[in-house]
Amino acid sequence: MILPIYGYGQPVLKKLARQVDPQHPNLKELITNMWETMYNAHGVGLAGPQVGLDLRIFLVDTEQVKDDEKLDIGIKKVFINAEILEEEGQPWSYEEGCLSIPDIRGEVERLPTIRIRYQDEHFTWFEETYSGLNARVIQHEYDHIEGVLFTEKLKPLKRRLIKKKLEMIRAGQIQADYKMRFAIRQG
Ligand code: NI
């Protein structure tokens, strides 16, 4: 089932998300729905808060962009209760976007290598290192479960330039080619 994606301005996007319990009701179904929602919107990642749930869960699929982005490996994974343990290297810039913030893109600086601890959908713990675009997508989704949006990491000038557009998204005055739920309801 395709879920509505919560748009910029929705309070859940600014909350620190809660740990996911293995007994969480219908978790398997939620994960299936999140994959479906992400692919429907042509995303490479989707986090719990983006479907209105303040849960520490996110999905990443960079397999889809492996060739275009010339990645050595792509990843397709569910990250539950993730914790980034370490980030290192020379900051690098890349143009990011977000399904909750349609039509806005901007350069975000992040560190290239991360070490992360997380559980998969079977609640098995993993500790792994990622780099490049794989790390970046994880960092972007991880920010979502920490209540942080990429637009907060843009340079001040760019932030000023998009301010009006963000307010339009909050008010639902935009068109996305997938179902969204906006902070201010129209009509
Ligand atoms: Ni996002």
DSSP SS3 for 132:
helix
Whether 141 sits among the annotated catalytic residues: the reply is: yes
Residues with CB under 5 A from ligand 1 (ion): 98
Domain count along the chain: 1
Asked whether residue 111 is assigned to any structural domain, the reply reads yes
**117 residue type, one letter:** R
Report CA 39 to chain centroid distance, whole Å.
Answer: 13
CA 185–ligand 1 middle distance (angstroms): 21
CA 44–ligand 1 middle distance (angstroms): 9
Count of beta carbons in the 10 Å neighbourhood of residue 3: 20
Query: Which one is catalytic: 141, 146, 152, 167?
Result: 141
Asked whether residue 30 is assigned to any structural domain, the reply reads yes
CATH number, domain with residue 70:
3.90.45.10
pLDDT per residue, tens digit, the chain (187 aa), is 999 999 999 999 999 999 999 999 999 999 999 999 999 999 999 999 999 999 999 999 999 998 888 888 899 999 999 999 999 999 999 999 999 999 999 999 999 999 999 999 999 999 999 999 999 999 999 999 999 999 999 999 999 999 999 999 999 999 899 999 999 976 5
Host domain of residue 79: 5-181
**Torsion of the alpha carbons at 180, 66, 118 and 16, rounded to the nearest 10:** -30
Asked whether residue 28 is assigned to any structural domain, the reply reads yes
Give the integer Cα–Cα distance in Å for 97 and 76.
Answer: 19
Are the C-beta atoms of residues 99 and 50 closer than 8 Å to each other? yes
